[in-house]
Amino acid sequence: MQTELESLLQSLPDEVMASFTPEQRAALWQAAKPMTWRRHPINLRLTAAIPVLNHRYFLTVVGGMEKRAPDRVHRERRMFPLRTAGNLLFLLGLGGAFYTAALFGIFMFSNLIEF
């Protein structure tokens, strides 16, 4: 990340670059440094490669106590709404897979009882 900040600073005009004090550069670094994820009680990270489509997909589920400020939670809910077509299709696919697995299990269990 430091190289990204350095490249950003190098792309600034020389007169702007010269106007930064060491304190301002330190503040820029603090603002631009990456957020690190702390350990969460629930931390599931799954990756699936689909060779036919030549794509890799990931699913991350993180859970724990909410430590973000209420205004940040509200802002992020507006930026990343839950009700999107992608989320709806994902939930329908997940529900369909669950019901298919349940029907398959019921079918297998009922065949085992008859023997």
Residue with tokens 């820029």: 28
DSSP state at residue 69 = -
pLDDT grade, residue 5 (50/70/90)? Answer: low
Find out whether 57 and 47 touch, Cβ atoms under 8 Å.
Answer: yes
Quote the pLDDT of residue 1: 46
Residue 74's pLDDT is: 92
Give the tens place of pLDDT for each residue, 49-79: 877 778 888 888 889 888 888 998 999 899 9
Strands (E), the chain: 42-50, 55-63
Residues 6+ apart with CB under 8 A from 31: none
Q: Cα(37)–Cα(45) distance, rounded to whole angstroms? A: 13
Separation of alpha carbons 69 and 67, rounded Å: 7
Q: Which of 50, 41, 9 is nearest to 28 (CA)?
A: 9
* pLDDT score of 12: 82
